Structure 1
Amino acid sequence: MEIILIQDVDNLGSAHEKVSVRNGYARNYLIPRKLAVEANPSNLKQLEERMKQLQKKEAKLMAEVNKVIEVLKASPVKIGAKTGTSGKIFGSVTSVQLARAIRDQKGYEIDRRRIHILDEVKELGTYKAKVDFGNSNEAEVEFEVTAE
């Protein structure tokens, strides 16, 4: 039986995919649990329309991500840290502080879990971090640690 998956199903396929399964598996498990629908002409037409909408949404999202990447690359972000007399900072700069600085200075809210600082930040200076936006979109952000 030909079906269209509504949700991802392990060992079968991902959402919005047309697959062939045994009749009993489709009728007794997938369709009653709203994991799939039968692949009839009207459902296939709905699938095409849904895919067009997803592509439009994806294109709009990609444009927004590219805009954010350009803003992040434009100028370095400044982070203030408490320092000792030798120029070493107390503690270290973390992705939480970098996310807060990006929000305050650039105006974009970025989840701290998407920020990966490349080096340990224990002294004043300029460092780099990578921001992962998903779908293989990454931006390298330069940030400067200054004394408060």
Structure 2
Amino acid sequence: MVNVGIGLAVGALLLFGGWVVTAGLATRSVSAVNAVFLSYVASLGIIGIYVLLARRPITGTQTDLVFALLSGVFLAIGTVSFYGALTRGDMAIVSAIAALYFIVPVVVDVVYFETNLGATNLLGLGLAVVAVVLITV
């Protein structure tokens, strides 16, 4: 039996891949900002319906609610940047570079939460960077 977390992660991988492809196609004739706006309208519609059906109140500490809102700010600005990159660059290269986003939380985890990375972790990070460099050349 497949672990539910892994199954959801694979689903996210496929859906994010579809997002990149459709975003790349959209930015052929739609400006980056307008394409982001339209994608967020669709996103808010879907998540709005889900929230209404799930009937889960918004709860949490004030700090964590601020972090949730701040994550939306990062997402919105990052998405505009990503769509802008798609209008000016090759979809495969742009998406490969952007896919290295996971390095940021790793660095934050190490610096601020004092997580220790082992040799295997560092090797994996290094190989991911090498893979992206090989894709982009």
Structure with the largest fraction of strand: 1
TM range (shorter): under 0.3
Relative to the length of structure 2, the TM-score reads 0.24
User: Higher relative contact order by CA 8 Å / sep ≥ 6: 1 or 2?
Assistant: 2
Relative to the length of structure 1, the TM-score reads 0.23
Q: Which has the larger radius of gyration?
A: 1
